Amino acid sequence: MRNQAWAAAILGLATGGAQAGGLDRSGTPVEIIFEQGNYAEVSFGYTEPDLTGVDVLGNSYANVGNSFGLAGAGLKMDFGERLSFALIYDQPYGADVRYGGNRATTMLGGTMADAESNALTALLRYDVTDRLSVYGGPRVLQAEGEITLSGLAYGASSGYNVDFASDNGVGLVAGTAYEIPDIAFRAALTYHSAVDLDFRTTDNTVFPAATTSTEAPQSVKLAVQSGVAKDTLVFGSVRWSEWEAFTLNPPNPGVPNLAELDNATTWELGVGRRFTDRLSGSLAVTYEDGSDPLVSPLSPTNGLTAVTLGGEYQVTEKVTLSGGIRYTWLGDARPETGTPDKPRGTFTDNTALSAGMKLGVNF
């Protein structure tokens, strides 16, 4: 069985408009660096959230989290027996939230957030010994977004719109892994540094355009896998992301920080099983503990629990097709505005469904 290819086929964490771990979507993958030989892959995931709620006036909000797709690709090549290289493309962060309703009669009607990102990571891996390796390299991140505050909850700021133009930043990825090939054991610790971004920012007020400086969050992930019986593998991971460092302060001094997000720790535990020489499957559970139930209206969820069912089929000796589905239960949350925080609605019993596929080729 290869790494965790069957479990990694799901690309999007199904957590509605704002993802698990703040705005996380892809989880900043690096697993391709552990593939055997020269290898390339392309992947696509799709998430359909069901994110509904009601405001304190009794107005219902139909699904405010729009569906989204994620694309990914990677290339890994060996340079000799100990040195290898990987190039990874992913769409790590995003948001797509839109509240329906009249802004003059609802607390949040017309509020929206739209954010997109793309990242390219280049990694070199060096095998220090047959079991110990180190890897690292630069990561280039591009991001942009737009936010509208609308509804009675925002008072005089209702109707405020701000655009954060596209900007690029460079960060660092570094990691180390210890492996025991005979039992398919691997423990990999990976660090993604923060990435500084300076958005050219314009809004619909009299204030001139300005630069909004922020940083995409640093993260640390520990991933472990091991064979436990013939054709059976267990795997798990824990990932921490510093989303409290991410801020969006627009040029209008009367508008507060638009990105009040909590740090997030996400856990995963699963088992993989090879049924035949060509067919493997996996089952995994993901959990993220909710923190403060008072959340930004632009991120109306609080933690999650998800179950992922994946499969991998060896089409030929060199071609592998993997995929799966994920069902996510989203944590209840209460969107708030103001200082001090004042709840403006309640979102409960929400879910999301994701599906993904990946095509891998050895060459």
Residue 113 CA to its chain's centroid (Å): 16
Query: CB-hemisphere CA count at 13 Å for 174?
Result: 5
Cα–Cα distances (Å) from 157 to 119, 142, 161, 253, in that order, read 33, 29, 9, 11
Among 47, 298, 25, CA closest to 154: 298
Give dist(CA 31, CA 41) in Å, integer.
12
Q: According to the model, what pLDDT value does residue 173 have?
A: 98
Q: According to the model, what pLDDT value does residue 21 have?
A: 61
- Which pLDDT tens digit goes with each residue over 145-204? 999 999 999 999 999 999 999 999 999 999 999 999 999 999 999 999 999 999 999 999
Q: According to the model, what pLDDT value does residue 290 have?
A: 83
Give dist(CA 279, CA 212) in Å, integer.
50
Beta strands 83-90; 68-79: pairing state: antiparallel
Residue length of the chain: 363
pLDDT tens over the chain, length 363 residues = 444 434 333 333 333 333 456 799 998 999 999 999 999 999 999 999 999 999 999 999 999 999 999 999 999 999 999 999 999 999 999 999 999 999 999 999 999 999 999 999 999 999 999 999 999 999 999 999 999 999 999 999 999 999 999 999 999 999 999 999 999 999 999 999 999 999 999 999 999 999 999 999 999 999 999 999 999 999 999 999 999 999 999 988 888 889 888 899 999 999 999 999 999 999 999 999 887 889 989 889 999 999 999 999 999 999 999 999 999 999 999 999 988 889 999 999 999 999 999 999 999
What architecture (CATH level 2) is domain 7-362?
Answer: Beta Barrel (2.40)
Cα–Cα distances (Å) from 312 to 6, 96, 192, 338, in that order, read 5, 31, 28, 49
pTM, whole model, 2 decimals?
0.92
Domain parsing of the chain, residue ranges: 7-362
**DSSP H/E element including 113:** strand 112-127
What share of residues in the chain are helix, strand, coil (percent, to 5)? 5, 60, 35
